[in-house]
Structure 1
Amino acid sequence: MPGITLDQAKVHLNVTLDADDAIISDKLAAAKAWVGAYTASNVDADGTPAPVNEAVLQMTAHLYQNREASLVGVTAQELPFGFLDLLAPYRAFCF
């Protein structure tokens, strides 16, 4: 499967209107860049593993829903078996 498209990201986000397409496209590009750097891979290539695609979608959703650098008055915690767990088998280590 080639990289995640804008339409796939909108489905994941449950967004049906086109008003935020530019914002979602920017968040998707940032998510692809982050995951690509973390895994030292091209996340737009055919054959990208499903967990990597899921991580791109999760990062896109996080960036779209949390557009500020910090949250005030919210207790946040990481979900078990979440974003980094999806990427763990594909992580590239540099020394």
Structure 2
Amino acid sequence: MIATLADAKAQLNVTSDIDDTLLTRKVSAAQDYLESWLGYKIESIYGGVDQEPVPPALVEAVLQLVGHWYENREATLVGVSAQQLPHGVSDIIREYRRWWSTPDDE
């Protein structure tokens, strides 16, 4: 995973260990979601030996999703006026998305 449980807890300002299992699952799900939109596995491109480091923007996208999913645990919001923030997950994905694939991406 490109983001850790500690990263998620810092993002959410959570100090208790009570939600560690939940947060770990959300970190994994967020990275999986991001990778489905990017068109590649992040760790196959970044962060390994002889690879560029993982872009901080991708880590931020994972943590933004974790924060959103942690604070909004249902599929809909009722009685809330919500709007997408600029430079959020969609904007980050757009910058790093591959519109093609290669055999090495598998």
TM bucket, shorter chain: 0.7 to 0.9
SS where residue 16 of structure 1 aligns?
Answer: coil
Task: Return structure 1 stretches of 4+ with deviation > 3 angstroms.
Answer: none
Deviations 1:49-93 (A, max 9, x none): 111111000001111110000011001100122221122111133
Give the TM-score, by structure 1 length: 0.88
Contact 1:4 1:53 in 2 (8 A): yes
Q: What is the aligned-residue RMSD (CA, Å)?
A: 1.6
Distance 2:14 2:41 in 1: 26
Task: Please tell me whether Structure 1 or Structure 2 has the larger radius of gyration of its CA atoms.
Answer: 2
The equivalent of 1:34 in structure 2 is: 33
Q: Matched residues in 2 for 1:41 and 1:60: separation?
A: 20
The answer to whether structure 1 residue 22 and structure 2 residue 28 are counterparts is no
1:15-94 equivalences in 2 (<5 Å): 15-44=14-43, 45-46=46-47, 47-93=53-99
Shift of the alpha carbon at 1:38? 1.1
Most deviating of 13-22 and 42-51:
42-51
Instruction: Give me the whole-angstrom Cα distance separating, in 1, the residues matched to 2:95 and 2:81.
Output: 29
Distance in structure 2 (CA, Å) of the matches to 1:3 and 1:36:
11
